[in-house]
């Protein structure tokens, strides 16, 4: 983004938050669509710009109510505190539409949570198992800049979501 024209920077930072499918009806309001995140990461040529963008995504993440920050919702294996709440659409008992809420006390991790939620929220439980989120992070140029602790935490978040989805498939 170093050599980007000022008008292009305005367009990048002034993009409205969009919604995917039925997600605006469920508990995913405020998530940036995955396609937009991928496009923006492709546009950013510097790792510092990408990390700034990740932090910005975290800032847009809705605040999780204190009552949801419980030991049951805490993700084990993360150095920072991370909480995930799972919602399953009751309309299709055998293969529900899954949505997730998340929170972290660390800025970069909160941004990673926002990306993870954009990857998985609004998907059928059966589809979640086939999503290679680490590959998506790698293609966005994010995985190689994570510390070992953050990468382990990311894996723990992904595993938690996949485990939750597997329990829902009937």
Q: What is the pLDDT of residue 78?
A: 81
Q: Is 41 assigned a catalytic role?
A: no
d(C-alpha 119, C-alpha 138), whole Å:
13
Cα separations in angstroms, 101 against 18, 86, 115, 146:
17, 7, 11, 22
Q: What is the pLDDT of residue 29?
A: 56
Digitized pLDDT (tens) for each residue of the chain, 170 residues in all: 444 444 444 334 433 333 233 333 334 457 899 999 999 999 998 999 999 999 999 999 999 999 999 999 999 988 899 999 999 987 667 889 999 999 999 999 999 999 999 999 999 999 999 999 999 999 999 999 899 999 999 999 999 999 999 998 86
Its pTM stands at 0.82
- What 3-state DSSP class applies to 61? coil
Count CB-CB contacts under 10 A for residue 117: 26
Instruction: Compute, in degrees rounded to 10, the torsion defined by CA atoms 53, 55, 60, 63.
Output: 170
Count the alpha carbons within 13 Å of 147 in the hemisphere toward its beta carbon: 8
Catalytic residue among 57, 78, 115, 158: 78
The residue count of the chain comes to 170
Q: What is the pLDDT of residue 101?
A: 96
| Tokens read off for 25 | 């009806």
d(C-alpha 96, C-alpha 71), whole Å:
25
Q: What is the pLDDT of residue 109?
A: 95
């Amino acid at each position: 983004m170093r050599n980007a024209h000022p008008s292009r920077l305005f367009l990048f930072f002034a993009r409205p938050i969009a919604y995917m499918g039925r997600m605006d009806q469920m508990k995913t309001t405020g998530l940036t669509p995955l396609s937009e995140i991928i496009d923006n990461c492709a546009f950013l040529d510097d790792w510092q710009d990408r990390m700034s963008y990740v932090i910005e995504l975290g800032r847009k993440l809705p605040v999780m109510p204190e009552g949801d920050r419980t030991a049951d919702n805490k993700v084990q294996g993360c150095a920072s505190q991370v909480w995930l709440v799972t919602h399953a659409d009751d309309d299709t008992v055998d293969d529900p539409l899954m949505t997730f809420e998340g929170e972290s006390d660390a800025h970069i991790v909160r941004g990673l949570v926002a990306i993870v939620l954009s990857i998985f929220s609004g998907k059928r439980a059966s589809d979640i198992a086939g999503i290679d989120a680490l590959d998506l992070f790698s293609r966005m140029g994010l995985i190689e800049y994570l510390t070992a602790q953050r990468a382990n935490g990311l894996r723990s978040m992904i595993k938690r979501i996949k485990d939750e989805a597997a329990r829902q498939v009937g």
